[in-house]
Homo-oligomer: A and B are copies of this chain.
Amino acid sequence: MTSDPRSAVIAAARQFYQLGWMVGTAGNLSVRLEDGSFWITASGKQKGDLRDRDFVRIEPNGTVIESPNPDNRPSAETSIHQTIYDLFPDAGACYHVHSVEANIAANFSRDGYLPLPPLEMIKGLGIWQENPEVKMPVFENHLAVRDIAAEVRDRFQAAPPDIPALLIRNHGVTVWGSSPAIAQNYLEIAEYLFRYLVVARQIA
């Protein structure tokens, strides 16, 4: 018997909501199943108290194949999750949230990348170097989310990212990992790095 993978996503969403990263109904979280389809949070749900019925299941090609509640619409940002799962075969979960610090830090980017500080914490993203020099890709925001997804695909096919994370200007961070637990670790580390960057800029 396998437990429903939505459970881990629901618990993560509650925590991210409590941390102020999913206020209003912002953000969307997904988990991929063995058959390649993925469950993603439905549009407009409050993230502090999700239920299994608040998801839709999406085929790799974007078709909705299961919706526990007929009113559910897939998240407006489903195309970004699709792109991540397509580009990264090992990705088992993809989490997108909006923190204040992520949006502030995105303003520190240059030439489409945000340089990250050489903190020990970087090891948690799989980088094992003395004084690591790592940068996070930053994309421009567009009203049509498919345009963002297309730019992610184009750039990542040309230049894979150092770490499993990307920023969209004014629009928060997206991370992916092999499981919901790993994706949650990566998100915690990414947000930690944004907090560091913001505080470092506040120092006189």
Query: Which residues of A approach B to under 8 Å, CB–CB?
Result: 20, 23-26, 46, 98, 100-101, 103-104, 107, 117-121, 124, 128-131, 141-143, 168, 170-172, 181, 185-186, 188-189, 191-192, 195-196, 198-204
Contact A141 B120, CB 8 Å, known A196-B103, A204-B203: yes
Closest 6 pairs (CB-CB, A-B): A24-B124, A23-B188, A120-B171, A130-B143, A24-B189, A24-B185
Which single residue of chain B is at the shortest CB-CB distance from A170?
Answer: B119
Which single residue of chain B is at the shortest CB-CB distance from A119?
Answer: B170
> Complex Cα distance A103/B24, Å?
21
Q: Which residues of B contact A195 (CB under 8 A)?
A: 20, 100
Would you give 26 A-B contacts (Cβ < 8 Å), ordered by A?
A23-B189, A24-B121, A24-B186, A24-B188, A24-B189, A25-B185, A26-B121, A26-B124, A46-B181, A98-B119, A98-B121, A98-B192, A103-B119, A107-B200, A118-B170, A119-B170, A120-B168, A120-B172, A129-B143, A130-B143, A198-B199, A199-B202, A201-B204, A202-B202, A202-B204, A204-B204
Would B128 and A143 count as touching, CB distance under 8 A? yes
Q: What number of copies of this chain does the assembly contain?
A: 4
Would B100 and A170 count as touching, CB distance under 8 A? no
> Complex Cα distance A185/B192, Å?
24
Q: Which residues of B contact A25 (CB under 8 A)?
A: 124, 185
Which single residue of chain B is at the shortest CB-CB distance from A185?
Answer: B24
Report which residue of A101, A103, A129, A201 has the largest number of chain B beta carbons within 10 angstroms of its beta carbon.
Answer: A103
Nearest CB in chain B: distance from A112 CB, A: 18
Question: Which one, B26, B170, B202, contacts A203 given CB within 8 A?
Answer: B202
> Complex Cα distance A193/B191, Å?
18
Nearest CB in chain B: distance from A36 CB, A: 27
Nearest CB in chain B: distance from A13 CB, A: 14
